[in-house]
Structure 1
Amino acid sequence: MNFAESTELVWFKSSHSAGDGGECVEVATCPTTIHIRDSKQNPATAPTLTVPATAWQAFLGLARS
């Protein structure tokens, strides 16, 4: 069982998401994985992208440059 299966995920919105409901991305972090979803959809049924924490860090590094 991984961390996400044993604990409820705590989601937070991106600081770059618009306050009017558009372009909303939510992220939940775990020790070894990052979970990403589009919060414009119903959170209970929205698909979730799960990536290794190392891949997320690499993505953020590229996005910042």
Structure 2
Amino acid sequence: MPSVETKVSRPEPVATPLERLAVRIPTAMQLIGVRRSTVYALIKAGELRTVKLGRGTLITMSSLRRLVER
């Protein structure tokens, strides 16, 4: 009698949403509830860390968290 090979099914990996590392300025404005001019003032004062990506400017989520957790 031939042996029957059974296939063990593994659970499908659950897709978890990726945490954003940086956001554009309009998103940062919404997240911390301030106006555009305030975001630029915080950048100039060194309170928010930015990353240039092409012509766009991104603000790191870690600097946004630091700002609101003080």
TM-score (norm 1): 0.26
Higher strand share: 1
Higher helix share: 2
Structure with bigger RCO (C-alpha 8 Å, 6+ apart): 2
The higher radius of gyration belongs to 2
